[in-house]
């Protein structure tokens, strides 16, 4: 019996293989800068390198780790490369990776307070810390009527906000009988696709989400919002929800939340504010204007997994009235009943999110805040913004290039004056080189290049080198 094979990794093996995995990651970060940022593989390449059938017998850990290097790594686009300027960043850091490791090791379920009290309480506590660090309105703290929770993404936060708003508007009738009323929601034409996806999921419908036009800076026009709400009311619709964006994905445009907020309050709409990337900037008092008007918001989210060195998934979602959210999402089957829940003395985060189960996500955020301190986080946010502004300055001085819009923070939208085809070719050639990676959008109906400075390890030299390569490649292309 004691001879029986357990198949498990023993604690001694776990130590040995664990050190190897840690070394693998440390080695990776030491060389990631030298790897082609955008993976050059073609569709099917990775699968072709993998056996068609699962192994019948277990394999040694060394072989698995070697396959990560040899078969997986070529198919990786390196989001943790300092030469990654694409999309919005999804940055990570040493303390975050290790906090997440401890979370995997503990392997607790945080669906209820009772299923692991520290998982819930650390989350509530750290989100109150974050509210202090950003100087959010007090009603977003757990000590008031609201509080924070970690969602997997801003998409899920927006969906939760939509559902809470839907139930508030219908007196919980939608939950009971389905979404019967002609509810209408509002956001800008530049808002993230997750708002539309949420409207579809929640049974509101894409056509009942009004995409309000924007001004020259791609920010929502409050006058048009007010007008549309009135028109909809006159047509018998029930306006119930608006989503404002602080830092749109296309251009980092900042919607005028104070004006939008006043309209929403007047009209009884739930206001959700999405600061997925730009929200982190509010760590620094000089950028805290991005939070103007949040006192009117019913919910707010931003993603430490974008720009605060905390690896995915970590979206901080704050609500001003937690009861509204919980009423919309709560369930309580017999097998989850427990004394702590019944007494109402605790938070059960199951009722603050779409899924039931949840991992101990607060650990990594706690590790990050304690490792960097507020000071260290501010340092990097300032550095990234300064680098992006410097880059924008170079663009402005170059007669061949132009800015599409003045960059509010760390995202620069620009283009070569050679037209859409030229810009597409420029981007494709540079990305294929592997030296850097950036992406595009369309602004003013023209292809526009996006250069976002937010990767943990991006330094001045990476930004300088990127600009040098962009100019060189443009010159080569212009010569034909």
By CB under 8 A, the residues from 146 to 185 that bind a copy of itself are 152-153, 155-156, 159, 163, 174-180, 182-183
Position among 34, 331, 397, 479 found at the interface with a copy of itself (CB under 8 A): 331
Size of the site for a copy of itself (CB under 8 A): 156
Site for a copy of itself in 222-281 (CB under 8 A): 249-250
Site for a copy of itself in 52-71 (CB under 8 A): 53-59, 61, 63-64, 68, 71
Site for a copy of itself in 416-455 (CB under 8 A): 439-442, 450
For a copy of itself, the closer of residues 212 and 226 by Cβ is: 212
For a copy of itself, the closer of residues 222 and 384 by Cβ is: 384
Q: How far is the CB of 401 from a copy of itself (least distance, A)?
A: 20
Residue 323 in contact with a copy of itself, rule: CB under 8 A: no
Question: Could you tell me the two tokens for 55?
Answer: 């192994």
d(CA 310, CA 100): 9
- Find the part of the chain contacting a copy of itself (CB under 8 A) among 42-50, 263-271, 396-404, 466-474: 42-50
- Find the part of the chain contacting a copy of itself (CB under 8 A) among 92-100, 256-264, 288-296, 469-477: 92-100
Q: How far is the CB of 273 from a copy of itself (least distance, A)?
A: 18
Q: How far is the CB of 223 from a copy of itself (least distance, A)?
A: 25
For a copy of itself, the closer of residues 144 and 205 by Cβ is: 205
Position among 202, 257, 470, 474 found at the interface with a copy of itself (CB under 8 A): 202
For a copy of itself, the closer of residues 45 and 476 by Cβ is: 45
Residue 187 in contact with a copy of itself, rule: CB under 8 A: no
Residue 456 in contact with a copy of itself, rule: CB under 8 A: yes
For a copy of itself, the closer of residues 293 and 350 by Cβ is: 350
Residue 458 in contact with a copy of itself, rule: CB under 8 A: no
């Amino acid at each position: 019996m004691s001879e029986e094979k357990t198949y498990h990794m023993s604690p001694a093996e776990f130590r040995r293989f664990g050190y190897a995995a840690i070394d693998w990651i440390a080695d990776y970060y030491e060389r990631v800068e030298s790897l082609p940022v955008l993976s050059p593989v073609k569709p099917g390449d990775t699968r072709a390198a993998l056996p068609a059938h699962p192994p019948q017998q277990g394999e040694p850990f060394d072989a698995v780790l070697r396959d990560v290097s040899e078969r997986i790594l070529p198919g990786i686009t390196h989001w943790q490369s300092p030469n990654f300027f694409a999309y919005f960043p999804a940055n990570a850091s040493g303390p975050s990776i290790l906090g997440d490791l401890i979370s995997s090791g503990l392997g607790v379920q945080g669906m209820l307070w009772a299923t692991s009290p520290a998982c819930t309480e650390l989350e509530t506590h750290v989100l109150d810390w974050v509210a202090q660090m950003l100087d959010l309105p007090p009603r977003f703290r757990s000590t008031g009527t609201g509080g924070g929770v970690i969602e997997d993404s801003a998409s899920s936060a927006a969906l939760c906000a939509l559902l809470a708003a839907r139930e508030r508007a219908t007196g919980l009738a939608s939950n009971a009988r389905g979404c019967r009323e002609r509810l209408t929601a509002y956001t800008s034409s530049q808002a993230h696709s997750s708002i539309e996806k949420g409207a579809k999921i929640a049974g509101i419908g894409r056509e009942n989400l009004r995409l309000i036009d924007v001004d020259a800076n791609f920010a929502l026009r409050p006058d048009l919002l007010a007008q549309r709400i009135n028109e909809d009311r006159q047509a018998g619709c029930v306006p119930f929800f608006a989503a404002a964006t602080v830092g749109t994905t296309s251009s980092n445009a900042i919607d005028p939340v104070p004006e939008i907020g006043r309209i929403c309050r007047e009209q009884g709409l739930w206001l959700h504010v999405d600061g997925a990337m730009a929200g982190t900037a509010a760590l620094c008092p000089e950028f805290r204007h991005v939070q103007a008007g949040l006192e009117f918001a019913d919910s707010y989210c931003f993603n430490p997994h974008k720009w605060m060195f905390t690896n995915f998934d970590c979206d901080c979602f704050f609500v001003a009235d937690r009861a509204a959210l919980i009423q919309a999402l709560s369930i309580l089957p017999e097998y989850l009943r427990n004394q702590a829940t019944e007494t109402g003395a605790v938070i059960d985060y199951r009722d603050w999110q779409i899924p039931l189960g949840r991992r101990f996500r607060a650990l990594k955020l706690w590790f990050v805040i304690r490792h960097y301190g507020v000071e260290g986080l501010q340092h990097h946010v300032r550095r990234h913004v300064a680098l992006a502004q410097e880059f924008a300055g170079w663009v402005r001085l170059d007669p061949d290039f132009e800015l599409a819009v003045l960059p509010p923070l760390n995202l620069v939208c620009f283009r070569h004056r050679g037209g859409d085809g030229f810009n597409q070719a420029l981007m494709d050639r540079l990305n294929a080189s592997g030296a850097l990676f950036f992406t595009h959008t369309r602004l003013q109906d023209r292809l526009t290049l996006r250069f976002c400075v937010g990767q943990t390890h991006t330094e001045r030299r990476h930004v300088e080198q990127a600009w040098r390569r962009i100019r060189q490649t443009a010159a080569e292309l212009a010569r034909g």
